[in-house]
Amino acid sequence: MPKQLAWVLQRCVVAPLVIVLTVLLWTTLPVTLLVTGGLSPFVPGWLRPVRLLWLVVVHLTLESLLLIELFGLWIASGFGLFIRRPFFERIHYGLVRAYLVVSFREARRVLHVKIETVGPAPDAWPGRPLIVLCRHAGPGDSFLLMYALMHWYHREPRVVLKQSLAWDPALGVVFGRLPNRFVSARPGQGIEDEIGDLARSLDENDAFVIFPEGGNFTARRRLRSIARLRRLGHDAMAQRAEAMAHVLPPRPGGVLAALDAAPEADVLLVAHTGLDHVVTAADIWRALPMDKRLLMGWWRVPRGEIPEGREEQISWLFDRWHQIDAWVAEHRPVDLPRPRRSSVS
């Protein structure tokens, strides 16, 4: 689909539909609460339908409010003429931070989940730009990572995102106005150049974020990725990938482009457990974590410890992904005691 047509559909069709749906949900909420409450005894998980319904209401409400604010900013910026100026960029980062804070606080309350760091908690490393390499295992991990970087560490992320996320009514618009890149799931010519351009000139509070696996982990994708490496003649990489059971083999092109474009940046590795199987809408209904403790692991690698040559950097990246794979195997989500009825409303 041409980008111009997609732009028109998103802003003139999808965005108004989200606002209409939000109003409809709020006006019918008493009825839908009765229906989901009646279904709850027949569904695994305490009040799962009610809790999921409320999260949908919160999500759509935040999306609608954000759309209205973005429209106002577009007008205030001279109908988009100055929308990429630093003043408006800071406002957009503030909107994203507020969206993530409200979303995650409400999700933690309603789902009764805790997010904890395994090992020493990382500091913010002020004054140092970062290249963040994160395990990819569901859309929730992207939001969790962004929440941590922006709220805990006051970073301004530059993110390499899947093209499909550009269709999100509000986030697609706001991320499109910030220094991010939407890329196809199938790498093509020029993507590494785009990644290099995005990672260039990072300042002291920037964090360049990339998911080297290129997609959410599933067992089928893991086998396809290994087969792809063998088809391309990368037998050594395929053999190393076969030894990793919980992650996809990393695609080094984008990571190497970022390392080359930002030689002053340290690297931050991030792993997590608990969102591994939440990929589709059906997974959200069936496997969204409730009453659990989710774990995150962080490892900073000073730039001086990263080798210089291309082949050496690829080997280093696979070594780090073996480290993440071993961490995921060792750390699994932990069940929490079921909340009292008064704690979720």
Mean pLDDT in order along the chain per 10 residues (345 residues) = 68 90 96 93 83 93 96 95 95 96 90 77 73 82 85 90 81 91 68 92 92 86 94 94 94 95 94 66 58 82 93 96 93 62 38
User: How much is the pLDDT for 285?
Assistant: 56
Phi and psi at residue 215, to the nearest 5°: 180, 170
CA distance 171 to 71: 13
Helices (H), the chain: 3-9, 15-27, 29-39, 48-76, 86-111, 139-147, 171-177, 191-199, 219-231, 235-242, 252-261, 281-287, 310-330
What pLDDT sits at residue 197?
93
Smallest CA-to-CA distance from 321 within 233, 223, 255 is with 255
Residue with tokens 């199938």: 186
Cα–Cα dist 131/117, whole Å: 19
Residue 345: predicted pLDDT: 33
DSSP strands (E only) in 255-326: 266-273, 292-301
> Cα separation of 139 and 2, whole Å?
25
